[in-house]
Amino acid sequence: MADLNSTQIRGVGPKYAALLAAAGVETVDDLAKSNAADLAQKMAVVNASQGIAKTLPSKEHVAAWIAQANSEELARVRAAIKVLRDMLNVDAYSWHATERDDPHKIKIDAVMFNRNEGYEVIPMVQKVADTFGFESVDDVKRIESVIPDELPGNVRSRKNVYNWLVEYFETH
C-alpha cells in the first residue's frame, strides 16, 4: 500500500501525513477505510500529546481526504505493492545521507534525484508503482532496473525522473 507521503491527497503535506501516521493511518488504504469524525478526534488527541501540527484539519477536511482516498483515481494506489528495501538490489546503493546530502538542509538535495542513494530510490520506485498499480516484486525489480540501465544521465530532478519513468512504462 502506498504511504501518504508518496501520494497526491490534496491537503495532506508532510505535517498532516505525520499526524495521520501517529493516529495509525499510514497508507491510502488505511485512510480510505477511516471514519472522518473518529479520525479527526484521534488526530486531535495525538496532536495534543505530540504537538505535530500547529493547526488541526477540520472534520470536513478529513472527510475530503477520505473521499480522495476512495476515488477511482487512487484505486490503483490502494492496490499497489509497498516497496521495501529488501525488494531492491541493496548492495547497489548507499543507505546513509551524508552531511552534504541532506534534503532538509540543502535545497538542491530536495529537488535532485540521486540514483545511487537507496533512500531516494525507494520512494521513486514506490511512486511509479502507485501510478501504474503495480502489485508484484517483479514489477518493483523492473522499475528499479530501468533507473541505472535506461534513465538518461541528464534527467536529474525528481520531477523529471518521475515523468521520464512514467513515459517509459507507458511505452514499454
Q: Domain ends where: 19, 46, 78?
A: 78
Distance CA 99, CA 84 (A): 25
Provide the number of structural domains found in the chain: 2
pLDDT at 135: 85
- Check whether residue 23 and residue 63 sit in a common domain: yes
Long-range contacts of 87-95 (CB under 8 A, 24+ apart): 87/137, 87/140, 87/141, 87/144, 88/118, 88/121, 88/122, 88/125, 88/140, 88/141, 88/144, 89/144, 90/118, 92/118, 92/148, 93/117, 93/118, 93/121, 94/118, 95/119
- Check whether residue 89 and residue 152 sit in a common domain: yes
For residue 25, what are the domain limits? Answer: 4-78
CA dihedral sign of residues 32, 37, 38, 43:
positive
pTM comes to: 0.58
- Check whether residue 74 and residue 91 sit in a common domain: no
- Check whether residue 47 and residue 116 sit in a common domain: no
Distance CA 72, CA 75 (A): 5
pLDDT at 3: 62
pLDDT at 1: 44
- Check whether residue 95 and residue 149 sit in a common domain: yes
Number of helices (H) and strands (E) in the chain: give both, helices first. Answer: 9, 0
pLDDT at 2: 54
- Check whether residue 20 and residue 52 sit in a common domain: yes
- Check whether residue 113 and residue 144 sit in a common domain: yes
- Check whether residue 163 and residue 106 sit in a common domain: yes
pLDDT at 17: 87
pLDDT at 103: 55
Contacts of residue 137, defined as CB under 8 A and 6 or more positions apart, other chains included, come to: 81, 87
- Check whether residue 67 and residue 107 sit in a common domain: no
pLDDT at 14: 81
Distance CA 158, CA 11 (A): 21
Per-residue pLDDT of the chain (172 residues; tens, 9 = 90+): 456 655 578 888 888 988 998 999 988 888 989 999 999 999 999 999 999 999 999 999 999 999 998 887 777 666 678 899 999 999 999 888 666 665 555 565 668 899 999 988 999 999 899 888 888 999 999 999 999 999 999 999 989 999 999 999 999 9
Written as one letter, the residue type at 119 is Y
- Check whether residue 34 and residue 93 sit in a common domain: no
